[in-house]
Structure 1
Amino acid sequence: MARIPPPVAAVRAAVRRALPGDGLVLVACSGGADSLALASAARFLSPRRVGLVTVDHGLQEGSDRRARSVAAWAQDAGFDPVRIATVSVAGLPGGPEAAARTARYAALSAAAAELGAAAVLLGHTRDDQAETVLLALARGAGPRGLAGMPARRGVFRRPMLEVSRAETRKACAALGLAPWEDPHNTDPAYARSRVRASVLPALVGALGPAVVDNLARTASLLAEDTVALDSLAETALESARSEAGLSIAALTVLLPAIRSRVLHRWARELGAPGGALGYPHVVSLNALVIDWRGQGPVHLPGGIGVARRSGDLVRVVPAHTK
């Protein structure tokens, strides 16, 4: 029996661990090496229940042809169903990268819901995770940001966070697959492209190739810590609730890491949008608890006001909205 090339075996082993016990599995495939290797492995391991979705963002000339090419390959390979999701990034918040990501995940979520998929597999690799950690570090993110991309969230699964980008390319070569090279991956207009082309290689050159593994490992360790802290914060939030809002006395005795999470969760409950709710807002809420000097209400995104009243944090109507 022919020996399976090690890169192919590595990808298949990673995907095998992520497959659900039953139900339809969708693979998100751009046609790049990472998602192509992922798709091939999923099809090999579960030939009767794997479909494929390719997203056309419409950001490049010929993107529709690329999507049709990926879909044609998938149909020939036996994927069922095969879908092309055409999206528009116009009017979505954030820069081009963020807008494209928002549109892509919305399309994949919609496809999963429509088809009743048990899981959607994403092709992010260990290198992608290392880049994500560096980007989070650059913007001053806390543990949640430095935890990088989760292996699982909702219907989405990322089987290859411990597989290198080099391995996916070698797997494609061994299988005779011809990946598409996305020009955005080398476009310096995009922050991730700059990290990929310059920052991470410079770190590898200065500190050695283990830096990629170490950054990804840091994300994994922080993800575990974040799950634990979030669980403690959920319990603390329930204990801190009062008839008016949140008890100052209950908040004061919490460890800072737990209290900040409690305040963030409560602000989200009040309706503050997660994308706009940031570190400065939580710091201001925290000051109402531990640095009270008679200051006025804290203004949160979404037109939400929070003030300290008679031993509680309470929601108030900001003056400018009255």
Structure 2
Amino acid sequence: MFPLKAFYWGQKGARDNFALQVRNIVEAGYRSLGETPVVIGECGIPMDMNNGESFETDRWDWQTKMMDAMLTALERSLVGFTLWNYNPDNDDHTGDDWNGENFSWFSQKRALPSSWLDHNQTSPTLDNGGRILRAVVRPYPAKTAGIPLRFDYEMNTGEFTFEWAVPEETTESNKSVDANRASRASVHDPPRTGLPPLKTNKTEIFLPSQLAHGRKVLVRGLKNEDKYTYDEVHQTLTIATHDNAPGTVHRIMVSVDPPPKPAFIVNDFWSDWGLHVFTAAAFVVSFIVFLVLSYVPY
């Protein structure tokens, strides 16, 4: 392996590293068991990291970044997962009251008394007591009219890309292509034959009102005669595609306007050190040129 490919830096590096590790596990499962649904169990982020610093400051920046990196990795691998955890009795002292863990994204200490809550399903008071919710509450494809190929969400802008394919006809040539896909066991290029025909042209995506409320939902990438609707009460974005011929690939980019305020900067090595590297490289090149010119006879 080229050494620099094993080097990860910053939030982008954390996302990419987690994503590679999860993808390797998932694809190893596909190679061993075939195209079988994968669920990752009990994954979460400790709220008491850094010696419980956030309990004093009530700032959850590192937990937010870690949760985002982990969920981004799971989303990119298109797998199911059980997010650990919601505990209504969590507090700073005893945590989840189990095995010394403190993983709950709900904190009783930060919640309103139950009698003060508005229990209407759309009431924002129901989120009271939650922490790092921007990282936890994310869009995801709930029902796909086809085969998911790619999903990527950026929580700092509220944008996501979703790509899916209509199953292909089970012909000899398509079966041969699928055999190659199965041997590669790629998360983003799964087998597309041997599946029942579609019964609907509608794809439903969970789009949380926390993200969309007070903003305009924008959908790009639709083809001619494709339609979309957003129901904020049910937090559902519905995409109705017109062309659903076997093998058709759909790709949409969804955003909100105005975008949310970024929770953090997605930094990497070049954003942090690029200017320093360029300056040092320019100095070295200039010095070498100076030495060469100094020894060139006139």
> Structure 1 or 2: larger strand share?
2
> Structure 1 or 2: larger helix share?
1
- State the structure with bigger RCO (CA 8 A, min sep 6), 1 or 2: 2
Structure having the higher Rg: 2
Normalising by the smaller structure, the TM-score range is under 0.3
TM-score by length of 1: 0.23
